[in-house]
Amino acid sequence: MRPTPGVAAITVVLPADFTAFCQLHHDVYQHYAHQLVADHDTAVRAVQHALGDLAASWTQALAGHHTTAIAWASLTRRIHHAARTSCGTPAGALYHLVPAAEADAAVLHHLIGLSITGTADTLGTEPTTVTSLLQTFERRLNDTAATSLRACWTAANSR
Protein backbone atom coordinates (compact mmCIF):
# COMPACT_ATOMS: atom_id res chain seq x y z
CA MET A 1 0.00 0.00 0.00
CA ARG A 2 1.35 3.41 -0.90
CA PRO A 3 1.11 6.32 1.52
CA THR A 4 -1.28 9.13 0.74
CA PRO A 5 0.56 12.10 -0.84
CA GLY A 6 1.62 14.51 1.85
CA VAL A 7 1.51 11.87 4.59
CA ALA A 8 4.77 10.55 5.95
CA ALA A 9 5.47 6.87 5.37
CA ILE A 10 5.91 4.65 8.40
CA THR A 11 9.35 3.12 8.73
CA VAL A 12 9.67 -0.08 10.69
CA VAL A 13 13.10 -0.91 12.04
CA LEU A 14 13.57 -4.52 13.01
CA PRO A 15 15.96 -5.48 15.81
CA ALA A 16 19.40 -6.45 14.54
CA ASP A 17 19.22 -9.83 16.28
CA PHE A 18 15.92 -10.61 14.55
CA THR A 19 17.39 -9.63 11.18
CA ALA A 20 20.41 -11.85 11.83
CA PHE A 21 18.13 -14.74 12.85
CA CYS A 22 16.16 -14.37 9.62
CA GLN A 23 19.31 -14.27 7.51
CA LEU A 24 20.61 -17.38 9.25
CA HIS A 25 17.42 -19.45 8.90
CA HIS A 26 15.58 -18.10 5.86
CA ASP A 27 17.11 -20.40 3.22
CA VAL A 28 16.46 -23.56 5.24
CA TYR A 29 12.92 -22.40 6.00
CA GLN A 30 12.33 -21.75 2.32
CA HIS A 31 13.71 -25.17 1.31
CA TYR A 32 11.49 -26.80 3.91
CA ALA A 33 8.44 -24.92 2.63
CA HIS A 34 9.15 -26.01 -0.94
CA GLN A 35 9.39 -29.64 0.17
CA LEU A 36 5.86 -29.48 1.60
CA VAL A 37 4.04 -26.92 -0.55
CA ALA A 38 3.98 -27.48 -4.31
CA ASP A 39 3.12 -23.90 -5.25
CA HIS A 40 6.23 -21.68 -5.12
CA ASP A 41 4.42 -18.43 -4.30
CA THR A 42 2.36 -20.04 -1.55
CA ALA A 43 5.52 -21.49 0.00
CA VAL A 44 7.26 -18.10 -0.10
CA ARG A 45 4.27 -16.35 1.50
CA ALA A 46 4.02 -18.97 4.23
CA VAL A 47 7.65 -18.37 5.24
CA GLN A 48 7.14 -14.59 5.11
CA HIS A 49 4.07 -14.85 7.34
CA ALA A 50 5.85 -17.17 9.77
CA LEU A 51 8.71 -14.70 10.10
CA GLY A 52 6.16 -11.91 10.53
CA ASP A 53 4.55 -13.88 13.36
CA LEU A 54 7.97 -14.29 14.93
CA ALA A 55 8.75 -10.57 14.56
CA ALA A 56 5.53 -9.74 16.40
CA SER A 57 6.59 -11.88 19.35
CA TRP A 58 10.36 -11.52 19.06
CA THR A 59 10.91 -10.16 22.57
CA GLN A 60 9.01 -13.09 24.08
CA ALA A 61 10.81 -15.56 21.80
CA LEU A 62 14.17 -14.25 23.00
CA ALA A 63 13.09 -14.48 26.63
CA GLY A 64 12.64 -18.24 26.24
CA HIS A 65 15.52 -20.65 26.09
CA HIS A 66 14.67 -22.10 22.70
CA THR A 67 14.14 -19.25 20.26
CA THR A 68 14.69 -21.59 17.31
CA ALA A 69 12.09 -24.03 18.64
CA ILE A 70 9.56 -21.19 18.93
CA ALA A 71 10.39 -20.06 15.40
CA TRP A 72 10.11 -23.64 14.11
CA ALA A 73 6.64 -24.02 15.68
CA SER A 74 5.49 -20.81 13.97
CA LEU A 75 6.97 -21.90 10.66
CA THR A 76 5.49 -25.39 10.68
CA ARG A 77 2.06 -24.05 11.63
CA ARG A 78 2.11 -21.72 8.61
CA ILE A 79 3.63 -24.30 6.23
CA HIS A 80 1.21 -27.07 7.15
CA HIS A 81 -1.73 -24.68 6.75
CA ALA A 82 -0.40 -23.67 3.32
CA ALA A 83 0.08 -27.33 2.37
CA ARG A 84 -3.57 -28.06 3.24
CA THR A 85 -4.83 -25.17 1.13
CA SER A 86 -2.42 -25.73 -1.76
CA CYS A 87 -1.39 -28.76 -3.75
CA GLY A 88 0.54 -31.10 -1.46
CA THR A 89 3.79 -32.93 -2.07
CA PRO A 90 5.07 -36.44 -1.29
CA ALA A 91 7.11 -35.01 1.59
CA GLY A 92 3.97 -33.38 2.95
CA ALA A 93 2.23 -36.75 2.90
CA LEU A 94 4.84 -38.08 5.36
CA TYR A 95 3.12 -36.09 8.09
CA HIS A 96 0.07 -38.34 7.74
CA LEU A 97 2.19 -41.46 8.16
CA VAL A 98 4.65 -40.68 10.97
CA PRO A 99 4.78 -38.25 13.90
CA ALA A 100 5.63 -34.67 12.90
CA ALA A 101 8.93 -34.61 14.80
CA GLU A 102 10.19 -37.65 12.88
CA ALA A 103 9.03 -36.23 9.56
CA ASP A 104 10.67 -32.87 10.34
CA ALA A 105 13.99 -34.53 11.14
CA ALA A 106 13.84 -36.74 8.03
CA VAL A 107 12.93 -33.86 5.70
CA LEU A 108 15.61 -31.55 7.08
CA HIS A 109 18.36 -34.16 7.26
CA HIS A 110 17.70 -36.42 4.28
CA LEU A 111 15.83 -34.23 1.78
CA ILE A 112 17.32 -30.82 2.48
CA GLY A 113 20.72 -32.21 3.46
CA LEU A 114 21.34 -30.61 6.83
CA SER A 115 23.79 -32.27 9.17
CA ILE A 116 22.54 -33.75 12.44
CA THR A 117 23.75 -30.60 14.22
CA GLY A 118 22.18 -28.32 11.61
CA THR A 119 18.90 -30.19 11.89
CA ALA A 120 19.00 -29.90 15.69
CA ASP A 121 19.77 -26.17 15.48
CA THR A 122 16.87 -25.64 13.09
CA LEU A 123 14.43 -27.59 15.24
CA GLY A 124 15.67 -26.04 18.46
CA THR A 125 16.58 -29.36 20.02
CA GLU A 126 19.62 -31.48 20.80
CA PRO A 127 21.59 -33.55 18.24
CA THR A 128 20.91 -36.69 20.28
CA THR A 129 17.17 -36.08 19.93
CA VAL A 130 17.54 -35.73 16.15
CA THR A 131 19.58 -38.92 15.98
CA SER A 132 16.89 -40.76 17.92
CA LEU A 133 14.12 -39.36 15.69
CA LEU A 134 15.98 -40.40 12.55
CA GLN A 135 16.63 -43.90 13.91
CA THR A 136 12.94 -44.31 14.73
CA PHE A 137 12.01 -43.05 11.25
CA GLU A 138 14.42 -45.55 9.67
CA ARG A 139 12.93 -48.40 11.70
CA ARG A 140 9.45 -47.43 10.56
CA LEU A 141 10.65 -47.20 6.96
CA ASN A 142 12.21 -50.67 7.11
CA ASP A 143 9.14 -52.30 8.65
CA THR A 144 7.76 -54.80 6.16
CA ALA A 145 4.23 -53.42 6.66
CA ALA A 146 5.29 -49.85 5.83
CA THR A 147 4.46 -50.03 2.13
CA SER A 148 2.70 -46.65 2.05
CA LEU A 149 5.50 -44.97 3.98
CA ARG A 150 8.20 -46.40 1.67
CA ALA A 151 6.26 -45.34 -1.44
CA CYS A 152 5.81 -41.84 -0.05
CA TRP A 153 9.48 -41.61 0.95
CA THR A 154 10.64 -42.82 -2.47
CA ALA A 155 8.44 -40.19 -4.16
CA ALA A 156 9.75 -37.47 -1.83
CA ASN A 157 13.36 -38.43 -2.56
CA SER A 158 12.82 -38.39 -6.31
CA ARG A 159 11.37 -34.89 -6.30
Ranges of each domain in the chain = 17-87, 89-159
Contact (Cβ atoms closer than 8 angstroms) between residue 142 and residue 132: no
- The residues, any chain, with a CB within 8 Å of residue 110's CB and separated by 6 or more, are 157
CATH of domain 89-159: 1.10.10
CA distance 96 to 15: 37
Q: What is the pLDDT of residue 29?
A: 97
pLDDT in tens, 103-117: 999 999 999 999 999
Q: What is the pLDDT of residue 3?
A: 61
Q: How far is CA 85 from the centre of its chain?
A: 17
Q: What is the pLDDT of residue 87?
A: 67
Q: What is the pLDDT of residue 110?
A: 95
Q: What averages of pLDDT result for each successive group of 10 residues across the chain (159 residues)?
A: 67 85 95 94 94 89 83 93 82 91 96 97 96 96 86 87
Q: What is the pLDDT of residue 104?
A: 96
- H helices of 37-146, in order, are 40-56, 58-63, 67-85, 90-93, 100-106, 116-123, 127-142
Q: What is the pLDDT of residue 140?
A: 92
For the purposes of burial, counting CB atoms within 10 Å of the CB of 40, is it exposed (0-12), middle (13-18) or buried (19 or more)? exposed
Q: What is the pLDDT of residue 134?
A: 97
